[in-house]
A = this chain, B = another copy of it.
């Protein structure tokens, strides 16, 4: 057999493999999108693999060819939420140059995300931590960066002496706790409306101005 034959055969083989892999990837995406839909609709508690399988028209065991188990599927489902989250915070960071206003901007974006994607937020920061931390090693670093943005903004505000404080880690974590508290309380308790949450955020800003700002 000639050299060109050999390469053609090789090309066909490669293309074939590629086609099959894309088909597999397509099914994976189908599972993922069905899972996301069902998860957002029915929530964490009622989310089931068998229901996802029924939705896409495959047997439940087929899902295991694409995901290790239910936990991983659910995690991959929220990964999109994580990316959205990071992007929203980044945009909020870039929205202004004034260091203090930046922190406020990030906080607002944080709460906005939580209230717009409560099901995702719940899974990300309110559910059992194991859930996230067990899978973190296997995925890109699009998660930890979220906190890093806030931390950076606060560091810069400290350096610019716009706010006062000493600890590099304690203050970011505390401010994180502030917005997380507002967000998660609003998600958990029905009597706290979105407006109420945003009002709290506004009052929080006033307090932080007196409590943190130098000027």
Contact = CB atoms under 8 A, between A and B. Distances in A.
Interface string A165-201: 1010011011011111110110011101000100110
Given A128-B45, A170-B203, A199-B170, A182 B181 contact: yes
Contacts of A176: 181, 185
Contact of A129 (B177, B188, B196): B188
A210 B129 CA distance: 34
Main SS of chain A's interface residues?
helix
A173 B188 contact: no
Contacts of A209: 211
Interface residues of A, number: 39
A204 interface: yes
Interface in A118-175: 125-129, 133, 165, 167, 170-171, 173-174
A207 interface: yes
A188 B190 CA distance: 21
Nearest to A190: B129
A164 B65 CA distance: 61
A43 B173 CA distance: 26
A125 B167 contact: no
A177 B173 contact: no
Interface of A: 43, 45, 125-129, 133, 165, 167, 170-171, 173-174, 176-182, 184-185, 188-190, 192, 196, 199-200, 203-204, 206-212
Given A181-B184, A207-B208, 12 more contacts: A126-B184, A126-B188, A127-B188, A170-B196, A173-B192, A173-B196, A174-B203, A176-B185, A177-B182, A177-B200, A180-B181, A211-B212
